[in-house]
């Protein structure tokens, strides 16, 4: 059920080109347990380290190491005025507002865990 929703949302979040090498919007993020289970496991120490630096344990020098499976919140960034890219990057068409609301509803309904 949740995997269907996740697929549905992923398909409807518009993509766009970022500034190469930029990861300024990466930081501590939360995600559903289902999406978390798709990410490689990080130790508590690695998670604590990242959190202390207000970073994400999957961020490496060359960017996101889990890009294909990155959480919905990471995908949403830059596609809505509510999460605007500080460098003005955006898709041609921002996300449909109804879909955005459904995603926030999904966040509320699912247990969110720190990535």
Residue 99 in contact with ligand SF4, rule: CB under 6 A: no
Return the C-alpha torsion angle 76, 82, 85, 87, nearest 10.
Answer: 170
Residue 58 in contact with ligand SF4, rule: CB under 6 A: yes
Give me the least distance between CB of 60 and ligand SF4, in Å please: 8
Q: Are strands 59-60 and 63-64 parallel, antiparallel or unpaired?
A: antiparallel
Contact 84, 90 (CB under 8 A): yes
Residue 18 in contact with ligand SF4, rule: CB under 6 A: yes
Residue 112 in contact with ligand SF4, rule: CB under 6 A: no
85, HSE (Cβ side, Cα atoms, 13 Å): 18
Residue 70 in contact with ligand SF4, rule: CB under 6 A: yes
Which of 12, 23, 38, 42: binder of ligand SF4 (CB under 6 A)?
23
Give me the least distance between CB of 90 and ligand SF4, in Å please: 8
Cα–Cα separations (whole angstroms), residue 64 to 19, 70, 80 = 13, 8, 21
Which of 6, 13, 32, 56: binder of ligand SF4 (CB under 6 A)?
56
Binding site for ligand SF4 (CB under 6 A): 18-19, 22-26, 29, 56, 58-59, 64, 66, 70-71, 74, 77-78, 85-87, 89, 115
């Amino acid at each position: 059920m949740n995997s269907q929703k996740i697929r549905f949302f992923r398909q409807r979040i518009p993509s766009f080109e970022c500034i190469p090498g930029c990861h300024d919007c990466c930081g501590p993020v939360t995600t559903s347990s289902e999406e978390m289970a798709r990410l490689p496991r990080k130790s508590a120490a690695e998670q604590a380290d990242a959190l202390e630096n207000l970073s994400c344990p999957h961020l490496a020098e060359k960017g996101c190491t889990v890009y294909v499976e990155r959480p919905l919140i990471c995908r949403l960034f830059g596609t809505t005025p509510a999460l605007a890219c500080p460098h003005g990057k955006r898709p041609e068409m921002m996300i449909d507002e109804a879909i955005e609301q459904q995603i926030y509803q999904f966040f509320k309904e699912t247990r969110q865990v720190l990535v």
